Amino acid sequence: MTTSSNILIVDDDSRGRETLEAVLTGLGHNLHFCDNGLDALKQASILQPDVILLDVMMPVMDGFEVCRRLRADPLLADVPVVMTTALDDKASRLAGIEAGADDFITKPIDRLEIRARVNTIIRLNRYRRLKKQQADLLQAHRELQDAYDATLKGWVRALDLRCNETGDHSRRVTLLTVELARLMGINEDELVHMRRSALLHDIGKMAVPDDILQKPGPLTEAEWDIMRKHPQSAIEMLKPIEYLRPALVIPLNHHERWDGTGYPRGIKGEEIPLAARIFAVIDVWDALSSDRPYRKAWSYEKIVEYMREQSGTHFDPKVVALFLQMMLGAHETSQAATTSGT
């Protein structure tokens, strides 16, 4: 055994305790002893043993009752209980099973048999505990991630409101980005980071003054210089947060253009990360599909024409082609539903 295990031996007969002590000594276990059921329950609560060797025939409280009480205690319900008994009849074994015993060893005890059974039970119980710990850690991790993501959504919702974005822009572009990325073969592990990256795409605008961010008309060149700094502001905001570092790709790169005329770095073609190339298409589509203070939303046909014109200059041609194919299916479904409704 690589680590010592706690074994609680419960027997009112000193000879029974001594026999088990002689058999199990030297195997690396920590042995603990009780001579009655009440003390056994108290010690079990303190020790949280790896296994309990429990005699059946004891005064005041027999082994069956001890086992029932162990199983009723949430902290002890999973501790393996092996009943040691001189009773070898079917009725006694059924009573033990009903009380919650995991195994039975008949007295007189066979040295090799009890060593093998105890070691097997401890090994299986240790594996079960490890799996439970892993499941608990995974659940805690998921809950923590959910809390993080809820916080991110709160940030982004506040930004959407500050930018006068209508119709929950960030949520829409995030959903479409993940859908298109999945069609392009991006795996689910990467999609977790991509979802956050899309959601946080404009988080750097938190550093842009209100008079620029909320200006109803065209920006001056000086104002554009400030606006174009928001990708770098996003990096400065998010980089110190370790779990968000894989989500920096879109906030930094979604204003880059396929032909190299974008910002902040002026990179082009496949130098631009795929996530940002995907998002750039969707961001423009959503902007043109939405009413703005200075214009009405464009029609589906006009947006498609514009996206095709910008393919190879603003956008990655492969991304545009697949995206328009995806949106065509959604558009035809919407049209069919409208027609059937009328």
Which of 13, 5, 55 is closest to 32 using CA atoms? 5
Q: Could you tell me what percent of the chain has a pLDDT over 90? A: 48
* Residue 109, φ and ψ in degrees, nearest 5: -80, 135
Residue 336 has pLDDT above 70, yes or no: no
* pLDDT at residue number 335: 59
Q: Quickly state the pLDDT bin for 332 (edges 50, 70, 90).
A: low
How would you class 263 by CB atoms within 10 Å of its CB: exposed for 0-12, middle for 13-18, buried for 19 or more? middle
Going by pLDDT thresholds of 50, 70 and 90, the confidence category of residue 98 is confident
CATH topology of domain 163-341: Hypothetical protein af1432 (1.10.3210)
Residue 162 pLDDT grade (very low, low, confident, very high; cuts 50, 70, 90) = low
* Cα 327 to Cα 291: distance, rounded to the nearest angstrom: 19
Give per-residue burial for 140-150: e unless 16+ CB within 10 Å, then b: eeeeeeeeeee
For residue range 251-293, list pLDDT tens digits in order.
Answer: 999 999 999 999 999 999 999 999 999 999 999 999 999 877 6
Residue type, 139: Q
User: In 35-171, at which residue ranges do the beta strands (DSSP E only) sit?
Assistant: 51-55, 81-85, 103-106
Rg of the chain over Cα atoms, rounded to whole angstroms, equals 34
Angle in degrees, CA 168, 169, 170, rounded to 5: 95
- Tell me the domain boundaries of the chain: 6-134, 163-341
Question: Do the domains 6-134 and 163-341 sit in the same CATH topology, yes or no?
Answer: no
Is the pLDDT at 27 greater than 90? The verdict is no
Domain 6-134 has CATH 3.40.50.720: no
Q: How far apart are CA 181 and CA 177, in angstroms?
A: 6
Per-residue confidence band for 39, with pLDDT thresholds at 50, 70 and 90: very high
**Cα 82 from Cα 8, distance rounded (Å):** 10
Query: DSSP secondary-structure letter at 315?
Result: B
Per residue in 55-88, pLDDT (tens digit) is: 988 888 999 999 999 999 998 998 999 988 877 6
Lowest mean pLDDT of 119-123, 155-159, 160-164, name the range.
160-164
Mean pLDDT of all residues in 78-99: 82
How open is the CA angle 292-295-298, to the nearest 5 degrees?
A: 95
